[in-house]
Amino acid sequence: MLGTSMVIGDGILTPSLSVLSAVVGIKQATSAMTDDRIVWISVAILIGLFMVQRFGTDKIGYSFAPIICIWFIMVAGIGVYNFIKFDPTVVKALNPKYIVDYFRRNKHDAWISIGGIVLAITGTEALFADVGHFTVRSIQLSMCAITYPALVLTYAGQASFLRKNHLLVADTFFKSLPKPLYWPMFVVSVLSSIISSQAMISGTFSIIQQSLSLGCFPRVKIVHTSTKYAGQVYIPEVNYLLMLACVGVTLGFRTLERIGNAYGIAVVFVMTLTSSFLVLIMIMIWKTNIFLIISYVLVIGSVEFLCLSSMLYKFDQGGYLPLAFAAVLMFVMFVWNDVHRKKYYYKLDHKISPEQLKKTVIDGNFCRMPGLAIFYSELVQGIPPIFNHYAANVPALHSVLVFVSIKSLPISKVPLEERFLFRRVEPKDLNVFRCVARYGYTDVRNENEPFEGLLVEKMKEFIKDSFWISQRNNMHSTDEEIKFGIKEEVQDWTLVNSGENGKEDSKRQVDDQDKQQDLLDREIEAIDKAWRQGVVHLIGENEVTAAEGAGIVSRLLIDYAYNFLKRNLRQTDQVFNIPHKRMLKVGMTYEI
């Protein structure tokens, strides 16, 4: 949860920092451009960036790679130009001896400066933001063949430039540009900053979607903007919250230095946590040699913790912001996940077995009213406890009752013929069914989709298939009994009954088949009649309260924090897109 919260914080700070750093370059073109104007231009770009998120990156994403390639080629080329023009001797800086001398010479100041040095490589983590969409080989090639060489050449060129221009540290990038390339570079830098922001925003949407599927994030609407890539999602609520946060950070901090301090802590914190988890992977999954693990911790771990400690030194200079974001998000995620699990286990522990359902329906004074009722439940097996609450207060059941669990699968589309899985709740005469409705990530449920009609048709097919399978099994078992009777019990079996008795047996079999067919037809007719009488959607609206004797912390988390989130977020009927005209909510309070 801490790592996830930090990534979301990175998704807030990356757009603010990258867009503002690109727009700052316009000050070199005109002195009339004040800091306030730069901030408001950045805010306008950020608002435009977030407003186009709902269209997805599936179409415009094809322009990302060419723009980024142009960016890397240009910065690398300008780096080579400055390297040759000003001071080629800076190539000696590649010798590790100089970093040792640097620390010996500056000691405490050298440690503090690491926080700024780390910012030179931040942004490369965006390469891994959508790691699930690319192969390992593509990331290795892009990092080793393009990103890393371009960064080395860029900073070597800037180092050469600063050897001759000591006072231009704050504006090194744009000051070091050849004049004919100023405006082309300004345009490309703005475009590349928008793309890097887009990468982190998309990464934030993806990680929230995964948190949602694990029950670690409140209910939000997930919109899949691509039929090809499962990870290209758009979350309206989160998008607007991110936009407000980015605009607030830009207007509040206003300077690259303070936003950079906050951004650095978020990025390095995520890097450190990732390396820590990688140690667990090396031990538990890869079964790596222990000496390699120790070497990894000593080399990579020591460097990252050194960088993190330097960044935390600037806690009061804007570094507190990502930690504040993380604290709020962790609290929200913890509260939702904790209560969500307790509520699910409560339902699981108090679910109604088929025997209990039969006893409730048969022993109770229920009347069966015409119609089809669809009861939504999270449980795939067993009847949810809210059904008992409904039955105790409304002593009437529809003639056909279907308990539906809607599940999402990690594929684009689920074929209609495979969408529904049915199971009958015995005894047959109750006309109670369990159904799992499976959807792919691009399948959409709304009032225009023939969900109810499709469910009824598939349920009738299930009844017919179950009938014929049952008939075939009965015939098969009869044949087996005859075969074993011939082999083991009656050695001298003769077809004495092939006369009148045989005709009577055949007639009796035909009569039994006619009766079974008649029962099947009547059951299908009962389903059709219920469908014609109307469909009602029953939703369990659960209120959660702390049980008696619960501590003050549990009461605060459940009664106040969780219920506040639940009231102010998307409700179940909105998630399922259920038609409101035929919806009935059944309320029940769970004491957990």
- The full DSSP string for 125-138 is GGGGTTGGGS-HHH
In the chain, the domains with their CATH numbers are: 1-317 (1.20.1740.10), 351-444+451-471+513-533 (no CATH)
Q: Which DSSP category does 63 fall into?
A: G
Burial class (CB in 10 A: 0-12, 13-18, 19+), 438: middle
Residue 547 confidence class, pLDDT cut points 50, 70, 90: confident
Where do the H-state alpha helices sit in 534-571? 552-555, 563-567
Q: What is the pLDDT of residues 81-106, one digit of tens each?
A: 999 999 999 998 889 899 899 999 99
**Separation of alpha carbons 37 and 32, rounded Å:** 9
CA atoms within 13 A on the CB side of 350: 15
Residue 388: how many other CB atoms lie within 10 Å: 17
The length of the chain, given as a count of residues: 592
pLDDT of 575: 54
Average pLDDT value for the chain: 81
Which tokens is 349 given? 């522990």
- Which of 51-55, 284-288, 576-580 is predicted least confidently? 576-580
Of 379, 380, 381, 383, residue with least CA distance to 397: 383
CA angle 55, 235, 563 (to 5 degrees): 160
Residue 291 confidence class, pLDDT cut points 50, 70, 90: very high
Strands 535-545 and 583-591: parallel
Q: What is the pLDDT of residues 294-316, one digit of tens each?
A: 999 999 989 889 988 988 888 88
CA atoms within 13 A on the CB side of 228: 7
pLDDT of 84: 94
Residue 498 confidence class, pLDDT cut points 50, 70, 90: very low
CA atoms within 13 A on the CB side of 135: 3
**Separation of alpha carbons 254 and 260, rounded Å:** 11
**Separation of alpha carbons 307 and 275, rounded Å:** 13
Q: Which residues contact 518 (CB under 8 A, 6 or more apart)?
A: none
Q: Report pTM.
A: 0.75
pLDDT of 503: 56
Residue 70 confidence class, pLDDT cut points 50, 70, 90: very high
Q: Which residues, in sequence order, are bridge partners of residue 369?
A: 398
Of 77, 344, 315, 329, residue with least CA distance to 208: 329
**Separation of alpha carbons 260 and 13, rounded Å:** 8
pLDDT of 488: 40
C-beta of residue 14 within 8 angstroms of C-beta of residue 245: no
Residue 192 backbone dihedrals phi, psi, to 5 degrees:
-65, -35
* Helices and strands: H and E segment counts in the chain: 21, 8
Q: Mean pLDDT over residues 446-461, rounded?
A: 76
Asked if residue 407 has pLDDT above 50, the reply is yes
Share of residues in the chain with pLDDT > 70 (%): 86
Q: What is the strand order of the sheet 396-408 is part of?
A: 420-425, 432-439, 396-408, 367-376, 535-545, 583-591
- 39-51 in b/e form (b: 16+ CB < 10 A) is bebbbebbeebbe
Asked if residue 479 has pLDDT above 60, the reply is no
Residue owning tokens 């092939």: 498
